[in-house]
Copies of this chain bind each other. A is one copy, B any other.
Amino acid sequence: MSLPRKKMTDNFPGCPVEAALGFLDGKWKGVILFHLMGGTRRFNEMRRLMPNVTPRMLTKQLRELEDSGLISRTVYPVVPPHVDYDLTELGKTLEPVVRALHSWGLDHVVCRDNRIETSVEPLEEHNF
């Protein structure tokens, strides 16, 4: 039986920090989680929040987060299609981590246009 061929040498994290970062690996995962902390989001809503992410990459990162158990994908079989993305309970446990990252970024990095972005129009207020 062929196991998914990836190098089996050190496939597994040797340290909790490495393990945790493994879940955030990927260019957009942290940002996706951050935006989902503001509540349910739909696909094109995310695209609007993250204008530089191509649909292909957004799909890929969302699927990986879903496979990791951090977010859920809910499909409503209607026309036009309606898909909701949410944090799972496990995903919500990452909030302190994402909050710490966000706080550090605010304190130590100047973002594009010198403008600080927060999640746009959150369904629930979250003050960081």
Contact = CB atoms under 8 A, between A and B. Distances in A.
Interface of A: 1, 3-4, 6, 9-22, 24, 27-28, 30-31, 33-34, 50-52, 67-69, 88-90, 93-94, 96-112, 114-118, 120-124, 126-128
A92 to B, nearest CB: 10
- The SS class assigned to the A binding surface is loop
A120 B93 CA distance: 9
B93 A16 contact: no
Contacts of A112: 12-14
Given A90-B118, A90-B121, A121-B69, A31 B15 contact: yes
Contacts of A126: 22, 68
A24 B9 CA distance: 22
A113 to B, nearest CB: 8
A52 B104 contact: no
